[in-house]
Amino acid sequence: MAQSSSTELAAAHAPDEHDAAYDEMAARRVSAACVLGLYRPSAGRIVLAFLLIALAAAPFLLREIIDVALPQDDLRLLTALAASLIGLAAAGAAIGVPRAVVGSGTHEALLARAHAYARLVRKPA
């Protein structure tokens, strides 16, 4: 009985034309543009994620300056790391300005609604 079940199992998993088509498709080379096209709908989120990761790298850059560039007197590395820190600060400021504008606009809209609601509540019937 054990042999017949193993024969049935082998027959059930025998390669067919579908497997051959899949193997052919998998063997074809896929272009980078095709792969990137899959991520196009999420491009904004991906860029934001990378930007937030880069902004979080500032302490590591500072550690690298203190632990590596300064003790080794490596002016090229020190310059590159300092420029990276300045770039991160600029990127943080560039993100901070739109965030503040959106935040203040939202705050003003909420205040306007609260004042309108207060006027409606106080209005005599």
- Name which residue leads in pLDDT, 1 or 58: 58
> Each residue of 26-66: pLDDT tens digit?
667 667 787 777 778 887 878 877 777 777 788 899 999 99
Q: What is the DSSP letter of 70?
A: T
Q: How far is CA 38 from CA 25, 41, 107, in A?
A: 17, 7, 37
pLDDT at 74 over 50: yes
What distance in Å separates the CA atoms of residue 103 and residue 125, rounded to the nearest whole number? 36
Q: Is the pLDDT of residue 73 over 60?
A: yes
Please give the model's pTM, rounded to 2 decimal places. 0.44
Question: Domain map of the chain by residue range?
Answer: 2-122
Residue 1 confidence (pLDDT): 47
